[in-house]
């Protein structure tokens, strides 16, 4: 699962807006929008905060899923 898929799943399961997700992650809504469209990958801080948010909704994702090693 990449960041775009994770954000879409969090939006669905948590019924959250991009702005609400951004507030929880500690970034801007623009960043969440870019991640959701696969325009970029999250930095380490945002990735870890997305993982913590995903755990609230019983979504299992790892740092390796969000941060490709290539």
DSSP states of 19-52 as a string? HHHHHHHTS-HHHHHHHHTTSS---HHHHHHHHH
Residue 67 domain-assigned?
A: no
> pLDDT digits over 12-37, tens only?
999 999 999 999 999 999 999 999 99
Residue 70 has pLDDT above 70, yes or no: no
Q: How many domains does the chain divide into?
A: 1
Does a structural domain hold residue 38? yes
Range of the domain at 43: 3-57
Instruction: Report if pTM > 0.85.
Output: yes
What CATH code is carried by the domain that includes residue 53? 1.10.260.40
Tokens 């755990």 belong to 55
Tokens, residue 68? 């490709």
Give the confidence band of 68 by pLDDT, cuts at 50, 70, 90: confident
pLDDT confidence tier of residue 2, bands split at 50, 70 and 90: very high
């Amino acid at each position: 699962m990449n960041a775009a898929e994770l954000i879409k799943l969090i939006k669905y399961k948590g019924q959250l807006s991009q702005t609400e997700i951004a507030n929880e992650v500690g970034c801007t809504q623009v960043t969440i929008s870019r991640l959701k469209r696969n325009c970029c990958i999250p930095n380490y801080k945002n990735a870890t905060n997305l993982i913590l948010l995903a755990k609230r909704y019983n979504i299992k994702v790892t740092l390796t899923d969000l941060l490709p090693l290539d």
